[in-house]
Chain A
Amino acid sequence: MAWRLKLVPEVTNFNFFRWQWFTFGGSIALMVVALVAWAFMGLNFGIDFKGGTTLRTESTTAVDVGGYRQALNALDVGDVSITEVFDPSFRDNQHVAQIRIGAQDGYEAVTPETLDKVQTALVAFDPALKVVSVESVGPKVSAELVWTSILAVMATSAGVLVYIWLRFEWQFALGGVLALLHDMLITIGIFAVFQWKFDLTIVAALLTILGYSINDTVVVFDRLRENLVKYKTMPLRDVMNLSVNETLSRTIMTSGTTLMALAAMLIWGGDVIRGFSLAIFIGVILGTYSSVYVAKNIVLLIGLDRSEKPKGGKGTPSEYANIDA
């Protein structure tokens, strides 16, 4: 037998329910923490959702946050926040800063005059400075973007719910969707706790997490469906354990390759896309966890009707024995 890298032994027999109250309770506690953090600390919304303007500056001389601030304070452009950006991919003499200006009263996007003023003031302070990108979103659009984002998350969840319901049982659909809400909520909570910037790309990341999480869960469910037919008299809990154990190698393998690819993006992909990569990275870890520890527990909690009934699912000649979970 040639050597193979095996992170998971051939046959595993973990009891994934042994710590179920700890893991499940932990998940619920984390969700509560996430909600509290979201409610009380709030999200550090980017201009996509709050309106305003961000400038990205690049210079060959070191960033002087205090100096920039002084240069801009004289302009009367309202709230200014300046952060220096670090990234391993920067050249030695590449110094990047992110400057954020609040929405100007009475205007939608930033006016060319304001922008000229800001640019002139910065260049006067540091002649080597260049403005490499400007983004400006008016309050009207940002309010709409908030709604579109909420709508997108809801529509996607609903679509997934319906699909799983059609392909499996409603309990699976509910379990799967609750599991992915768990993943998204905790990711949002982490962004709230660390006050990382939350913008449109993070919403896209959340939707991607949603897709990944459900993908993982569905694989477990698929095996569960198959085993329910195979082991008609085995208690539901044991069938679930068996199914998770059988798919464990695949779960770890796929999460592994995905996380590796994402880690590469996180480290070398540049700072512009880092928030996005980070959100997906966190989400994939949570998604893997929730497909093993959350989704099926919910199905177990609700209970499955394993009595005989015609169900159009593929490969399920409905011959379930009548056994309670």
Chain B
Amino acid sequence: MKTLDRGLSWLLAGRRSAASHLLLSPAAAWLIVFLVLPALGLVALSLARNGAYGTVVWSLNLDNYQRAVDPRYVPVLLRTLAFAGATTALCLVLGYPLAYFLSFRAGRFRGALIIALMVPFWTSALVAFYSWMVILGKEGLLNTALLRFGFISAPLGILYTPFSVLLGLVYFYLPFTVLPLYGSLEKIPRSYVEAAYDLGAGRWTAFLKVTLPLSLPGVIAGALLTFIPCLGDFLTAELLGGPRYYLLGNLISNQFLMAQDWPFGAALTTLLLAGMIGGLWAYRRWEPDA
């Protein structure tokens, strides 16, 4: 019992770095087994060749990467970049005023409002998208209402358009943008803004010269946290995009589940992961309290 106590105390005291590594080892092991090794496995798989009936023939070649830039897939990649970029831009533009409001104006409602912002995020995307399908469909709520009140004479095709995909993406990723924005706005000392007022700056000048520049780290963090997961999104296009707006995520999932070409799917995923790691690195660099 005594030795056990002493051992555990040694672990907790952390006077030796071995103790720290030991305490971190279970979590690290988990991340290595279920995240790092699978990712490395994907890289290895991406260099392999597709064999008979979707079996894997190990080899070392870059054919799969060459295929990723085949004219067949370039439009998908460009479409994905465009959707991710548009989503990020929209989320920033829509979300910044909200983050500003939460940080500077919300007063005692702030906590409740932040939780309220997170509820849709915590709700299953599946459930929210299903509801959007009900709203936007040809015989959906929106069309029915517009028809009844005579705004339109024939149902609009809203679902399964770029618009519905974008709507779904913005809906889902808005909290990812707003929370880092809010975080960085919170860090701005209020005295700076007041000093600007004291020096005779108007509200807009103070905002443009003081608040906005100081919140830039949050803008960058929010943009990255939106843009990167967006690149791999496959549910939104699958449910709200209909047959014509498939994104990189769908291309990847189809390689695994439909085309039976795991090496090519792995190559596409590796490219996506490379993008993620680049983004993560940038995020660490820009993060305010890194």
Bound pair (A, B)? no
Residues in A lying within 8 Å of B, measured CB to CB? none
